[in-house]
Amino acid sequence: MATASKSNTSSASSNGKRKTTRQKHARAKPEPKQRSNPRRWSHHVMETSDAMDIQHEIFKEGSAQEIADSLKKSSARSNRRKGTPFQSAMSMLNFYINRAGRNLPKSRRTILDNAKKRLREAFGRKP
């Protein structure tokens, strides 16, 4: 009889509750809110995050030098950025390239890659 009570206490903690092996992050979470248009989440990020304010459609129309100059100017005057001006400008450029993905034409990708090099030069960084 003493062995039966001993086995019961081994699976229970000192306060009488049973130990669980599930971690907090593995527990069920409530359903997330549905967005109005889930395909435009990156647009929402650009509009509402602590990202800097950039010139409208600069990535679609500008040359590599225009893009670099615009990003440098925007990052220097932005009050919404968290990192250095260089980090903010390069992050915004990379964000656009990554979100465009396969839909970005090769010619435009080349211009944006050149804009990265120009941006590094504009901030005095090594290429």
**pTM, two decimal places:** 0.60
pLDDT band at 34 (very low <50, low <70, confident <90, very high): low
pLDDT digits (tens, 9 = 90+) for 37-76: 667 776 777 666 655 677 788 888 889 999 999 999 988 8
pLDDT value for 14: 58
The encoded tokens of residue 85 equal 């001006």
Residue in 54, 56, 67 with CA at minimum distance from that of residue 118: 67
Residues in Cβ contact with 91 at an 8 Å cutoff, skipping those fewer than 6 apart: 51, 83
Q: Which residue has the tokens 């005057």?
A: 77
pLDDT value for 49: 62
Q: How many other CB atoms are there within 10 angstroms of residue 40's CB atom?
A: 12
Q: Which residue has the tokens 């990003």?
A: 71
Residue type, 22: R
